[in-house]
Structure 1
């Protein structure tokens, strides 16, 4: 876990190393300052020697200023290193997420990934900064202060040897009980983010159903749960403060009592006792700082584990050792294909699907909700891999191609049409970053989008809000179709992507496909038979199985399911398949 995180320090190694260097110099000066204080008292104040007071006092000022400068430099380098470390981890997580297959993404909820990219990384950043600065300073300060204390008086210094085991046991108990508590807290943070995300994405539904009070209650329930869990975890950690205070004051009382007797017996000077007190404070401060770091590490350890899970997650879909990069044509063949999201054969979503589509053919797919239509087409560009059987494109198993080459050859318009914040041109060029303005217009004409775009005030430079909220559902569908067409794919998949447009526009889009991209293999998932009746082949699906393949006329004559769907849509009654 630690190794996978530390490799993200990258170009900030120098800053990470400079921090302990300046911390060490600062500690060295902090150790020497009590020595000078003792000399001022014993060689200046006690003897009345003004010259010694001035000379030693000047040295004390110089040491104090240098310690301040070194402290500022260590803080600066620690801030740069920790911020850079967090930036690199954030980037590494995001880059790795881009490599995930749909199956990988299914293992992590969106809200959980957001929490890991924000809250968890902030925790790790703070811990890293404290580690390279305070966790270096504290042990050095403790060791050297303890060494100097033993040089002054062994009898007083030995008190700390009894205090250390007491503190160690206390911290071990705190860590044991606090770590699982914070683990539960951060898992609940995922749920809180999920509630907020769902509410914001579905705010129009919330308002239309007047469910604001329900959503507020749902939020408050999760928020209250986090409050209770975090309070419980913090109460455990809070024992660290009283434990340190008890140890510090106990040591101070013992040293004061024993030190007073030693001065009376002339076994110790006043200056030595003063410097001993300063070393005592430094030792206790060092112990207190170390305990604070350990507490922060307790809090951040679950975050480190959660971040490492994402960093170490390998994509289920990878390129073969020698991938094919050329796809000869848009032919598609399914050979006894079965698929399960869990990978288990007893929970199949698709079962023994077998068909061949020649390059350039138009294929309609009809079936009820949950029949496996979307899953079927997602196997073509390897958004998932078949559990059994093989999927071939251009005569080759899709697993033999490089993912980039395969997906470049497949244009896909999913059920959930997504537009990104930016202009219409910028959204369209997701399909082809090098597309000219003329190519944009041509694709939009095919998708029946050019007319409404030109009516907008800014035309193709109109800004699309996040999620495409300032365009209608039908307009959004037409823009995403145009975006897919700009790829000039060998295979075009339209997953119920004309459901929000009127029948006339749907007809014009289908007609444009038949006339202008005849060499492109087209898969059209639709609810309306009118959208697919001119297809070369129509696949009828039910419960993950192919129940029929043929033309519109053939299926009307032979397939009962297709007959019922057609009857319900044409006559307006009977069982409706959605």
Structure 2
């Protein structure tokens, strides 16, 4: 957790001010019992009313000052902790933005969400308590002991005996609760994962009548978290009764032994009252420390998880000599490319060699798991290859910055992803400064203009989260329009026509052919009809190339391609 505190540097003067205010507050609180003892000893016992009014007024002034110090300290410490949380969240988000897909696969989306929200909140809350309690508690404890000794050294032996017992009690309870606090964050991850899957897959769940099954999954994860939280809270709940028992026994002992010392004339009544208050201040300061023991272990676990994100070095990084700008063009070459997913037993693709030329359509087809989408991800450098080279206009993609490479590519993913906002904003996502005419032109080419025109708000129609208020085909067409509006050198369509009917598919391909004459087009597809007229078709089978050529050539030379064509034609004829 200490490692995260480096992000407190912008607030170092504010922290110094908080520490000063808490120091002054602690001094004020420690001075009050002495003033009270003075009122009793010099005013009440001797009947000096003027002394009572004078010292009483001073006590009110000291109390007001203490309250003022406390308010200002709370205000500034709240600002510091909130600012710290903002900085760490920003750093974490920026780090995650630089992650490759490999880091997302390793850490998990649900876990990253928890770390960016709940974990940072835990550390933020502990920071707030630390600035208030971790400073004031030791000062009150040490100051209380000093003041108690100044009132009566012999009676202070009661405190000397009690403090170790109190500290040992706190230690034993906290030691038992710490491992449970650490496990709570991991159980929150699991709960978030189940909840996220339930919300994103609600249509599938209802379609298959699996609502009760999902309720049981959620209940199991929720119960696991609840049982752990209840268990740890039971342990920590034992702390307060133990503290109060020890405090009350201490009060009884002080009054008992103090009464004897008053009767023998070794101590005054006011001093006993002040001593009792100092003893309570010492006890409460230890209770404040015990409260920190409740939160620090959980925050430490959260801080470790945050640091894991911040310390994760992305596998894919830009070389120091990487080109920051890319020349116009789009000639893509795969030269004996091999790639394996982390932990996989065998390569996803191996010894892949082909080229995609400017002004041509290069199609990739094959069965499920043959490596089609992997090739699309390698072109955009979502993963780095294990062997071989991928070049764009003769330059290895690893010798270009990721920004320069991806600025040349218009990518349409296999699963259409839309963002909350208007249709116009989603299309313009591909090009921030896109003019209205460019947005409308991209929508027309993508065959999206017709359904947009049917909406009362037109291009200002709001898209709900994940595009839930659009059909699959509509989402795909908007995703295609988003890629078209940026006028890239390379278009990569990863099975982006699967939700379109045959007529829309045909119209879209015809419009694309006219629009992309000066660009390289790479289409990953399942349907033969989508890629039948491509200039070059690459047939994939089990991660290797099973044939390259146009439709007619492959029908003669590739058994795999003929099987794909015959199976799909048979399905179309039956339909």
TM-score (norm 1): 0.96
The unaligned stretches of length 5 or more in structure 2 are none
Please show how residues 505-520 of structure 1 align to structure 2 within 5 Å.
Answer: 505-520=504-519
Deviations 1:324-363 (A, max 9, x none): 122342111112211122166x432112212222233211
Aligned residue number for residue 337 of structure 1: 337
| 2:415 pairs with 1:416 | yes
| 2:191 pairs with 1:231 | no
Whole-angstrom distance in 2 between the partners of 1:467 and 1:412: 18
- Partner of 1:434: helix, strand, or coil? coil
- Partner of 1:498: helix, strand, or coil? coil
RMSD: 1.9
Aligned residue number for residue 139 of structure 1: 138
- Partner of 1:253: helix, strand, or coil? helix
| 2:542 pairs with 1:543 | yes
Whole-angstrom distance in 1 between the partners of 2:110 and 2:424: 30
Deviation at 1:81, TM superposition (A): 1.4
Aligned residue number for residue 326 of structure 2: 326
Whole-angstrom distance in 2 between the partners of 1:547 and 1:174: 66
Find runs of 4+ consecutive structure 1 residues off by over 4 angstroms. Answer: none
Whole-angstrom distance in 1 between the partners of 2:155 and 2:372: 80
Q: Provide closer, same or farther for how the CA distance between residues 526 and 23 of structure 1 changes in structure 2, counting only shifts above 3 A.
A: same
Contact 1:179 1:298 in 2 (8 A): yes
Aligned residue number for residue 406 of structure 2: 407
Q: Provide closer, same or farther for how the CA distance between residues 173 and 336 of structure 1 changes in structure 2, counting only shifts above 3 A.
A: farther
Contact 2:328 2:489 in 1 (8 A): no
Deviation at 1:202, TM superposition (A): 1.5
Contact 1:336 1:354 in 2 (8 A): yes
Whole-angstrom distance in 2 between the partners of 1:411 and 1:476: 16
Equivalent residue pairs, number:
574
Whole-angstrom distance in 2 between the partners of 1:137 and 1:420: 48
Deviations 1:394-447 (A, max 9, x none): 111111101111011111100110111111110011100011011111111211
> Which is worse superposed, 398-407 or 347-356?
347-356
Contact 1:362 1:535 in 2 (8 A): yes
Deviation at 1:179, TM superposition (A): 2.3
Whole-angstrom distance in 2 between the partners of 1:276 and 1:419: 68
Whole-angstrom distance in 2 between the partners of 1:516 and 1:425: 20
Aligned residue number for residue 15 of structure 1: 14
Contact 1:365 1:539 in 2 (8 A): yes
Contact 1:343 1:387 in 2 (8 A): no
Deviation at 1:9, TM superposition (A): 2.7
> Which is worse superposed, 125-134 or 384-393?
384-393
Q: Provide closer, same or farther for how the CA distance between residues 10 and 436 of structure 1 changes in structure 2, counting only shifts above 3 A.
A: farther
TM-score (norm 2): 0.96
Whole-angstrom distance in 1 between the partners of 2:25 and 2:465: 50
- Partner of 1:572: helix, strand, or coil? helix
Whole-angstrom distance in 1 between the partners of 2:216 and 2:230: 21
Please show how residues 138-217 of structure 1 align to structure 2 within 5 Å.
Answer: 138-217=137-216
Aligned residue number for residue 387 of structure 1: 386
Whole-angstrom distance in 2 between the partners of 1:364 and 1:197: 35
Aligned residue number for residue 284 of structure 2: 285
The unaligned stretches of length 5 or more in structure 1 are none
Whole-angstrom distance in 2 between the partners of 1:175 and 1:381: 50
Whole-angstrom distance in 1 between the partners of 2:566 and 2:227: 58
Contact 2:356 2:522 in 1 (8 A): no
Whole-angstrom distance in 2 between the partners of 1:396 and 1:445: 34
Aligned residue number for residue 483 of structure 1: 482
